A and B are shown apart, each in its own frame.
Chain A
Amino acid sequence: NFMLTQPHSVSESPGKTVTISCTRSSGSIASNYVQWYQQRPGSAPTTVIYEDNQRPSGVPDRFSGSIDSSSNSASLTISGLKTEDEADYYCQSYDSSNVVFGGGTKLTVL
């Protein structure tokens, strides 16, 4: 089984850009799609990125996703930060037998 490792927390000011990383421990990050979920306090998660870099309808284009095979990691970038972006963010991927979530990153917008 592989793991997905995220930073525990990140913080940035409104209007700035932040990037959250998600590193796969074994197997290629490119071999299976990566999704990103946003979870606000007291609410269920919602998808902000699916299939590495696709945005669901209704998610602003301030959210973008990418993968980097050289570092075997995926990234979620949020530009033009707003206070409403403050939340926990989880990456997720899979292999033939398992679905794996990263440990989550708490984004503080201050």
Chain B
Amino acid sequence: QVQLVESGGGLVKPGGSLRLSCAASGFTFSDYYMSWIRQAPGKGLEWVSYISSSSSYTNYADSVKGRFTISRDNAKNSLYLQMNSLRAEDTAVYYCVKMATPRIHFDYWGQGTLVTVSS
């Protein structure tokens, strides 16, 4: 069965950096687009970024463009999110999500990792 396990969340000061990782299993990782979606405490879902199966294409929400970088390692079945210049408003649970390629539909979600940006 599909499993997505996020790691790397934690407490970071404003302006700091953090790298999230996601270990995928139960499907052919290299065949699928992958995404990061976040949810601030008590708030709704916000799409952050997605990456194509071969890493040739990436897309970002305006709120993180220029600060966050999505990447993947198909040999390690892993997805990453490098987050720089973090702000208080980036505080959220970050979900690693498999996309139902070629559709823009999120069919499997990890349990999420909490990122808290606070001084």
Contacts and interface: CB of A to CB of B under 8 A. Distances in A.
Interface in A29-45: 32-33, 35, 37, 39, 44-45
Nearest to B111: A44
Interface in A71-110: 88, 90, 92, 94, 97-104
Contacts of A98: 47, 61
A27 to B, nearest CB: 14
B45 A51 contact: no
Chain A contact-residue range equals: 20 to 34
Interface residues of B, number: 20
A53 to B, nearest CB: 13
A47 B106 contact: yes
Contacts of B110: 44
A94 B35 CA distance: 14
Contact of A33 (B59, B105, B111): B105
Nearest to B62: A1
B68 interface: no
Contact of B103 (A45, A50, A97): A50
Contacts of A47: 105-107
Interface string B77-119: 0000000000000000001000010011111011110000000
B100 A50 contact: yes
B29 interface: no
A102 B47 CA distance: 11
Contacts of B61: 98-99
B2 to A, nearest CB: 12
Contacts of B47: 92, 98-101
17 contacts: A1-B62, A33-B105, A35-B106, A37-B106, A44-B111, A45-B45, A50-B100, A88-B44, A90-B44, A92-B106, A99-B104, A100-B47, A101-B44, A101-B45, A101-B46, A101-B47, A104-B44
Interface of A: 1, 32-33, 35, 37, 39, 44-47, 50-51, 56, 88, 90, 92, 94, 97-104
Interface of B: 35, 44-47, 50, 59, 61-62, 95, 100, 103-107, 109-112
